[in-house]
Chain A
Amino acid sequence: MTKKNIAFGFAVATLCAVSAVSAQAKEKLNVLCAADEEWCNLMKSTFEKESGVDVSMVRKSSGEIFAHIKAEARNPKVDVWWGGTGDPHLQAAAEDLTTPYKSEQIDSLLEWAQNQAKQGDYKTVGIYAGALGIGYNEELLKEKGLPVPKCWADLTNPAYKGEVQMANPNSSGTAYTTLATVVQLFGEEKGFEFLAGLHSNINQYTKSGSAPIKASARGETTLAVTFMHDMVKQVKKGFPIKVVAPCEGTGYEVGSMSIIKGARNLDNAKKFAEFALRPDVQSLAEKAKAYQVPSNSGSSVPEGAPKLTEIKLINYDFATYGSSETRKRLLKRWDDEIKSLPR
Chain B
Amino acid sequence: MRTSFFPWLIMGWIGFAILPWYALEDGFWAFEWLIDGYPFDSDYAPALLQIFQDKEWLLPLLFPLLFPLCVFNRVKSDPKYASTLVISGGFGLAYILGQGFSVGISGWEFSTLESLFGPLETRQFGMGYGALLTSGAFLILLTTGLAAAGNLRGDVFVTSAIGIVVALVATFVFLPVGKILVSAFINDEGLYALSTFTNNFFTKKIWGIDCLSTSVSCGVGLNSFFLAILTATSTTLLGLGFALVATRTDFRWKKSLRVLTILPIITPPFVIGLALILLLGRSGTITQFVADLLNIEAGRWLYGLPGIWLAQTLSFTPIAFLVLIGVVEGVSPSMEEASQTLGASRWHTFKQVSLPLMRPGIANAFLIGFIESMADFGNPMVLGGNYDVLSTEIFFAIVGAQNDQSMAAVLAITLLMFTLSAFFAQRIWLGKKSYTTVAGKADSGIHAGMNPLLRRICMCVTIPWALFTIVIYGTVLFGGFVVNWGRNNSFTLQHYAEGFGIGWSEGNLVWEGAAWDSFWTTITISAIAAPLTAALGLLTAYLLVRQKFGGKNIFEFGTMLSFAIPGTVIGVSYILAFNVPPFELTGTAAILVLCFMFRNMPVGVRGGIAAMSQLDKSLDEASLTLGANSFTTLRKVILPLLRPAIVAALVYSFVRAITSVSAVIFLVSADHNMATSYIIGLVENGEYGIAIAYSSVLIFVMLSAILIVQKVIGERKLRRTNRLTSQSDTTKSSTNSAPMEKQA
Name A residues whose Cβ lies closer than 8 Å to a Cβ of B.
Answer: 13, 16-17, 20-21, 23-24, 30-32, 36-37, 41, 56-59, 61, 63-64, 66-68, 70-72, 74-75, 77, 162, 169-173, 175-176, 203-205, 207-208, 210-211, 214, 217-221, 234, 237-239, 264, 327-328, 331, 335, 340-343
The answer on a CB contact under 8 Å between B31 and A21 is yes
Given contacts A72-B579, A77-B586, contact A207 B398 (CB under 8 A): no
List B27-85 residues whose CB lies under 8 Å from chain A: 27, 29-32, 34-35
Contact A204 B386 (CB under 8 A): yes
Which residues of the other chain, A, contact B210 by a CB distance below 8 angstroms?
340
**A162 and B487 alpha carbons, distance in the complex (Å):** 23
- B215 partner, pick from A24, A220, A343, beta carbons under 8 A: A343
Q: Does B584 contact A (CB under 8 A)?
A: yes
In the complex, A210 Cα to B581 Cα: how many Å?
A: 38
B31 adjacent to A220 (CB under 8 Å):
no
* Closest B residue to A13 using CB positions: B31
Which residues from chain A contact B579 at a C-beta distance below 8 Å?
71-72, 74-75
Query: Does B445 belong to the interface (CB within 8 Å)?
Result: no
A sample of 28 cross-chain residue pairs with beta-carbon separation below 8 angstroms, ordered by A number, consists of A16-B29, A20-B30, A24-B32, A37-B514, A67-B403, A68-B666, A71-B579, A71-B586, A72-B579, A72-B586, A74-B104, A74-B105, A74-B579, A75-B584, A170-B396, A170-B400, A175-B401, A203-B303, A204-B300, A205-B386, A207-B384, A218-B281, A218-B686, A220-B283, A220-B300, A331-B401, A335-B205, A341-B216
Instruction: Produce 1/0 per residue, B395-410, CB < 8 A to A.
Output: 0101111110000000
Q: How far is the CA of A239 from the CA of B277 in the complex (A)?
A: 17
The answer on a CB contact under 8 Å between A204 and B32 is no
From B31, B216, B584, contact of A17 by CB (8 A) = B31
Asked if A75 and B105 make an inter-chain contact with CB atoms under 8 angstroms apart, the answer reads yes
Which residues from B are CB-within-8-Å of A13? 31
With A41-B514, A340-B216 known as contacts, the answer to whether A173 contacts B401 (CB < 8 A) is yes
For the complex, give the distance between the alpha carbons of A122 and B632 in Å: 65
> Which residue of chain B has the shortest Cβ distance to A41 in the bound complex?
B514
CB <8 Å contact, A58 and B486 = no
Q: Is the CB of A70 within 8 A of B29?
A: no
Contact A219–B282 (Cβ < 8 Å): yes
Given contacts A20-B26, A342-B215, contact A63 B671 (CB under 8 A): no
Report the bound CA distance from A328 to B188 in whole Å: 12
Q: Is the CB of B668 within 8 A of A58?
A: yes
What number of A-B contacts does a CB cutoff of 8 Å give?
146
- Chain B binding site: helix, strand, loop or mixed by DSSP? loop
In the complex, besides A71-B579, A237-B484, 13 extra interface pairs with C-beta distance below 8 angstroms are A32-B670, A68-B666, A71-B572, A71-B586, A74-B105, A75-B579, A75-B580, A170-B401, A175-B401, A217-B686, A218-B486, A220-B281, A331-B402
Chain B residues with CB under 8 Å of A72's CB are 575, 579, 586
Chain B residues, Cβ within 8 Å of A172: 400-401
- B486 to chain A: closest residue by CB: A218
B399: A residues at CB distance < 8 A: 61, 63-64, 66-67, 171
Inter-chain CA distance A68–B29, complex, in Å, is 25
Is residue B132 contacting chain A, with contact meaning CB distance below 8 A? no
Q: Which residues of A contact B30 (CB under 8 A)?
A: 20, 23-24
* Chain B residues whose C-beta falls within 8 Å of the C-beta of A214 in the assembled complex: 686
The residues in B between 131 and 155 inclusive whose CB is less than 8 angstroms from any CB of A are: none
Task: State the Cβ distance, B212 to closest chain A Cβ, in Å.
Answer: 13
- Measured CB to CB, the nearest residue on chain A to B205 is A335
**Of the 9-residue stretches B111-119, B351-359, B616-624, B677-685, which lies at the interface with chain A?**
B677-685
Contacts of B487 in A (CB 8 A): 218, 238-239
Residues of A within 8 A of B27 (CB): 20
Once the chains are docked, how many angstroms separate the CA of A243 from the CA of B401? 26
Asked whether any CB of chain A lies closer than 8 Å to the CB of B385, the reply is yes
- Using an 8 Å CB-CB cutoff, how does the interface string of B568-588 with A read, 1 for contact, 0 for none? 000010011001110010110
Q: Name the distance in Å between A246's Cβ and chain B's nearest Cβ.
A: 22
Contacts of B34 in A (CB 8 A): 17
CA distance A58 to B680 in the complex (A): 13
Q: Bound complex: CA of A172 vs CA of B214, how far in Å?
A: 27
* A171 touching B398 in the complex, CB below 8 Å, given contacts A24-B32, A220-B283: no
When the two chains form their complex, are residues A171 and B684 in contact, meaning their CB atoms are under 8 A apart? no
Bound CA span A77–B303, Å: 39
Taking a contact as CB atoms under 8 Å apart, the answer to whether A16 and B381 are in contact is: no
Docked CA distance A343–B204 (Å):
18
Q: How far is the CB of A244 from chain B (nearest CB, A)?
A: 20
Query: CB of B665 within 8 A of chain A?
Result: yes
Determine if B106 is an interface residue (Cβ-Cβ < 8 Å).
Answer: yes
* Residues in A neighbouring B729, C-beta threshold 8 A: none
User: What is the distance, in angstroms, from B137's C-beta to the closest C-beta of chain A?
Assistant: 15
Q: With CB as the reference atom, state the residue of chain A lying closest to B297.
A: A144
Considering the complex, which residues of chain B in the window 655-711 have a beta carbon less than 8 Å from any beta carbon of chain A?
A: 665-666, 668-671, 673, 681-682, 684-686
Given A56-B671, A58-B673, A207-B381, CB of A219 within 8 Å of CB of B283: yes
Distance (Å) between the CB of B663 and the closest chain A CB? 14
Complex-state Cα separation, A68 to B576, whole angstroms:
10
Q: Pick from A169, A208, A220: contact of B282, CB below 8 A.
A: A220
